[in-house]
Amino acid sequence: MKENPQLNPIGVIHSPYNTIEECHPYSQSREQTFRLEVFPEFAPALQSVETCTHILVLYWMHHARRDLLTQGYRWDNKPHGTFALRSPHRPNPIALSTCELVLREGRFLTVQGLDCIEGTPLLDIKPCFATHDGSPDARVGWWEKRTGKCPQ
């Protein structure tokens, strides 16, 4: 029998934002720095991470709602399915960001490219490979339609 997922945070994210209201989405907070604190028991898992220029950071949106299967953005009232959105509100509120690794100091990583509040639980860190982790042909139809970039 397969096991159900069991998530245990590996650390905590220290953010310049204390409230969700002041927390800018990634596109607007690119220049802000965040500090990832990895708990001591997971520190050995950081070996060689300082050789990575970019990392994928997975975190748990601990103030998110978990009951929304469709939702509209505040700037777009038309509802879309949660799985077509990057909203923090989802059945399993796991967030993902590609971050620039600025500095490693022991079990603390300074990064740019996050969009979460102080105290957000850190779930995982992975190296970002330019060859695997970008999809230059990726498109989001509903977004293109809204912004007028959709050819259809």
Ligand X SMILES: C[S@@+](CC[C@H](N)C(=O)[O-])C[C@H]1O[C@@H](n2cnc3c(N)ncnc32)[C@H](O)[C@@H]1O
Residues that bind ligand X (CB under 6 A): 20, 23, 25-26, 61-64, 86-88, 95-97, 115-117, 120
Contact 94, 73 (CB under 8 A): no
Q: Closer CB to ligand X, residue 52 or residue 97?
A: 97
Contact 54, 131 (CB under 8 A): no
SS3 73: strand
Q: Of 53, 41, 58, which is closest to residue 7 (Cα–Cα)?
A: 58
Q: Closer CB to ligand X, residue 38 or residue 114?
A: 114
Q: Of 92, 21, 32, 25, which is closest to residue 61 (Cα–Cα)?
A: 92
Nearest approach in angstroms of CB 62 to ligand X is 5
Nearest approach in angstroms of CB 3 to ligand X is 24
Q: Closer CB to ligand X, residue 111 or residue 115?
A: 115
SS3 83: helix
Nearest approach in angstroms of CB 44 to ligand X is 27
Nearest approach in angstroms of CB 132 to ligand X is 18
Q: Closer CB to ligand X, residue 43 or residue 93?
A: 93
Report DSSP state, residue 128.
P
